[in-house]
Structure 1
């Protein structure tokens, strides 16, 4: 077992373990089947049920569900009034959608570096990037750990900025003992299969602001309304008007039935994620060749991802070699994320390497190891054994 599988040895596992996976049970399946047998496949009662479950869970007044997390971010940027000439401060360590949503509205993403300990956007770096053109901040709760939202709110308040908290990783996470989702003007969640709960694809924005809510409702469905207070005149009960330019970002009742059912289990899912993260922390605390995640005192993460950082100076290999060796052991590792501005599209826009040094250093060393609620204790042990096996082989 000491010989690496990539060199011809026997792998730790017989079957491949992915880094993330949905947990679907019979209750979820029955909820979807009920919709399929009912009257509404889209824009029906399941959408409102899902929205209410999420808004009630996090403690927000309103929620607007849409087709994806990306659509949710786009919708939030639209509601915030982002337009050409506006700058929006974003973390570089995130999925591209966190910055793309600014481009969709004609704005310019401005990348602020991360805290090298928490890997979240550093409020001190945000403050350095604020200019007269800055309109908003999109902080990202990377891996599920909350950003220091109170400090970001202080900066935003001083500069009259809107906060769109990208909590795609953080439904169920907590900041200072309260659920993430009410500190920013708008908070976005994602329901991709590897997220805390899933609707297949889907996203949602929660807000306490009535005006932002009205803008998002319009944006979700072509800018069309039947609201008698908004239309110019009323020809009859069938009548509607397009009063703004929106998109078809509607989510189906099929998806929302799944999402609403998943919300019944979110606390169980988050508890299991936290247990696995705790086990990893304990198992790797004395492995000098890797650094385990550092969680800030104000955060209680829901652990969407578990990222280890390789101390490459203590290893005889590159990150790529560790990654490939773990894959060969049937441990499904991944990397989250290439700093957004290093993607070829952003390079063509003029962004250059060296913009956020902490983010770039982290990227060169980071590996995401498997963590999802359906993992068995044996799966968790396999990951630990696989990581230690590979690290021991390559340590100096």
Structure 2
């Protein structure tokens, strides 16, 4: 996409459009998928189990259950946790809508805790303030790949007998105090959407050490059906299966799992590249007072799904919308993560009102996501930096 509408009508920093995120697929990935296409199984076959084991081993979890999407995986986790009518689940508003929608799917009620104004992750103090006798679970989101303060979250959960479902859609490969995300909470969800650390096209997974949750997740993703002889209520013969509850068709295919297996082999190299580009961003942008760089905690290791800056509006004579559009005119594909969930029209219809989470609403007005993905080159990173400096120079207050 070519753009000639840069600031002052001049030439854009880039001739071609640079997206904020994009999958990286190579010949090995393609061949792995072709091999499955030529095999006997292209839907739910042996490749699914191989992929699940690969992910479980990587994050040091006992079990993993693959789903057709991260959203489906979160729904499965809410089911396994026993969330139902009148149950409340605390989560963050600065996330994709799926983190809260999964509670609604089970007829529960999402409750939004405010965020830490420095890390943009869910604030444990706010969680504690939102706990009631109806609270059943907490869904912390590891925003941008930086883990939330899990020690404090788990302490609250233990005090009130709550289940912790980590939304780690951004955090495959992240660590919290030297423990891998995916091995800490009761259940953890990872997403394999194309802009995430690895992709299966669409897809998600739940990791857990709890065998009861594991069995429920397996059955939930397949219509609530089981063939497990130990669990059957009746048995008509070797062909027999039972639908024991209302589940869903949330199965991943072997085609997707094959891509995931190949992508997992490259995950660590993908993360290294993301960290390399973040270091360049940090070094080159730290001298610009017009923007606030991401805050990094000392006791966590982020796998850097997103690089989110915040505008210092007191030093700029333009609002976020104008700044955003100016960068797009330079062919830099910026984005915003996220509109606070409860500000969406559907949630307003449910009775959620502005003012629930003041920090989230304030920060939402100023944040912009810069491009970051392993397929980028150092020149791409420099182009983003050049565009930022150009726009800042043009819009800075004298």
Secondary structure at the residue paired with 1:135? strand
**Where does 1:35-184 land on structure 2 (aligned, <5 Å)?**
35-184=36-185
Tell me how far 1:233 sits from its aligned partner. Answer: 2.3
Cα distance in 1 for residues equivalent to 2:144 and 2:157: 23
Tell me how far 1:6 sits from its aligned partner. Answer: 4.0
1:285 counterpart residue number: 286
Cα distance in 2 for residues equivalent to 1:72 and 1:330: 35
Cα distance in 1 for residues equivalent to 2:183 and 2:264: 18
**Where does 1:177-196 land on structure 2 (aligned, <5 Å)?**
177-196=178-197
Cα distance in 2 for residues equivalent to 1:235 and 1:142: 49
Paired residues of 1:171 and 1:196 also in contact (CA < 8 A)? yes
Tell me how far 1:176 sits from its aligned partner. Answer: 0.9
Cα distance in 1 for residues equivalent to 2:293 and 2:41: 47
Unaligned 5+ segments in structure 2 are none
Tell me, yes or no, if structure 1 residue 17 matches structure 2 residue 18: yes
Paired residues of 1:4 and 1:390 also in contact (CA < 8 A)? no
TM-score by length of 2: 0.98
Tell me how far 1:235 sits from its aligned partner. Answer: 1.9
1:366 counterpart residue number: 367
Q: CA RMSD in A?
A: 0.9
The number of residue pairs the alignment matches comes to 394
Paired residues of 1:164 and 1:186 also in contact (CA < 8 A)? yes
Tell me, yes or no, if structure 1 residue 276 matches structure 2 residue 277: yes
2:327 counterpart residue number: 326
Unaligned 5+ segments in structure 1 are none
Q: Which whole-Å deviations, capped at 9, do the CAs of 1:185-232 have from their partners, x for residues lacking one?
A: 000000000000000000000000000111111100001011001112
Tell me how far 1:4 sits from its aligned partner. Answer: 7.6
Tell me, yes or no, if structure 1 residue 391 matches structure 2 residue 395: no
2:200 counterpart residue number: 199
Cα distance in 1 for residues equivalent to 2:29 and 2:91: 35
Q: Which whole-Å deviations, capped at 9, do the CAs of 1:333-373 have from their partners, x for residues lacking one?
A: 00000000000000000001111010001100000000000
Paired residues of 1:68 and 1:202 also in contact (CA < 8 A)? yes
Paired residues of 1:189 and 1:204 also in contact (CA < 8 A)? yes
Tell me, yes or no, if structure 1 residue 241 matches structure 2 residue 245: no
Secondary structure at the residue paired with 1:268? helix
**Where does 1:327-346 land on structure 2 (aligned, <5 Å)?**
327-346=328-347
Shift >3 Å, 4+ stretches: none
Cα distance in 2 for residues equivalent to 1:97 and 1:232: 34
Cα distance in 2 for residues equivalent to 1:7 and 1:180: 46
Tell me, yes or no, if structure 1 residue 267 matches structure 2 residue 268: yes
Tell me how far 1:7 sits from its aligned partner. Answer: 3.2
Tell me how far 1:178 sits from its aligned partner. Answer: 2.3
